[in-house]
Amino acid sequence: MASPAERYLEHVRVEKRLAQRTVALYTLDLEKLAGFAAKAQVELLEVQSSHIRRWVAQMHSAGRSGRGIALILSGWRGFYNWLGRQGLVTSNPVQDVRAPKAGKPLPKALSVDQAVQLANFRSERADPWLEARDAAMVELLYGSGLRVGELTGLDAQAGALARGWIDLPALEAHVLGKGSKRRTVPVGSKAQAALQRWLLVRDPAASYPAQAALFIGRNGTRLTAQAIWQRLRQRSLQAGLAAPVHPHMLRHSFASHLLQSSSDLRGVQELLGHASITTTQVYTRLDFQHLAKAYDAAHPRAKIK
């Protein structure tokens, strides 16, 4: 007679008609479960929650990620649910067991040299109109730490219906951020110069009415976030960066580089428009990574063989 595990795998393959790849993953999960049970000298039908918790701790100590453990537990939970429906167990030992919380990944940020390389890049082959527009977008994203939605919402000047606008004489951008919260961020001299070049060529000779949006496409309509992602990806590769850059990466770089220079966490929070300081604190980890790399590279006692 087939074992309960074999019968369960036949059930998901034939009756539930799960994909072959999914069945293969379930098989690996059950093999792992059987291995743990054999070492603990316990039958699969006699496994308790205490066993599961111990095995979760062992997997975590061995370096398996919280997400990976969660997927394994999901497979085990489905197996014991099926056993319960078959009347083979009275309770599911996996039901109340949760995987360790997955560590929050650090946002990706460019190095200062990479950010400057992208900001300074100028394409001689590109359409001058597109080149002026894309250069201004990069300067604002990196120089002011804007979200891509805040960038698309900017108008060329203040207006009654404007979500956000640029005030070049004051070197300020007024943006509408998350939660409909307004904030004012500084515009650096490099961004000011790039915006001035863009505004000189912004309104092409076309048959559409003047558009309030600061950044527009060739058809005169407000540029979308997706279009900005595509243009920035293309521009970063043309600039010679190893990996494509997206708008939020420039925002991360803005925050990280500010903290490296000033250590003013509260000020960076205000500039980014974070409601909570804990959201901004992730950049202190980025800053520590920067310091740790500098230490490893420069300190004579950093790497003792």
The stretches of 15-65 forming alpha helices (DSSP H) are 20-39, 49-61
Please, is 130 exposed, middle or buried when counting C-beta atoms within 10 Å of its C-beta (0-12, 13-18, 19+)?
middle
Q: Is 178 a catalytic residue?
A: yes
* Set 51, 80, 133, 147: catalytic member: 147
Contact 248, 142 (CB under 8 A): no
Q: Cα–Cα distance between 81 and 61 in angstroms, integer?
A: 27
Q: Is 147 a catalytic residue?
A: yes
Q: Is 274 a catalytic residue?
A: yes
Q: Cα–Cα distance between 111 and 214 in angstroms, integer?
A: 28
* Set 108, 197, 248, 290: catalytic member: 248
Q: Is 11 a catalytic residue?
A: no
Query: Token pair of 116, please?
Result: 């400057």
Of 261, 257, 243, 265, the residue nearest 286 (C-alpha): 257
* Set 163, 174, 251, 252: catalytic member: 251
Contact 268, 259 (CB under 8 A): yes
Per the DSSP assignment, residues forming a β-bridge with 213 are 155
* Set 178, 181, 285, 293: catalytic member: 178
* Set 26, 80, 142, 283: catalytic member: 283
* Residues labelled as active-site residues: 147, 178, 248, 251, 274, 283
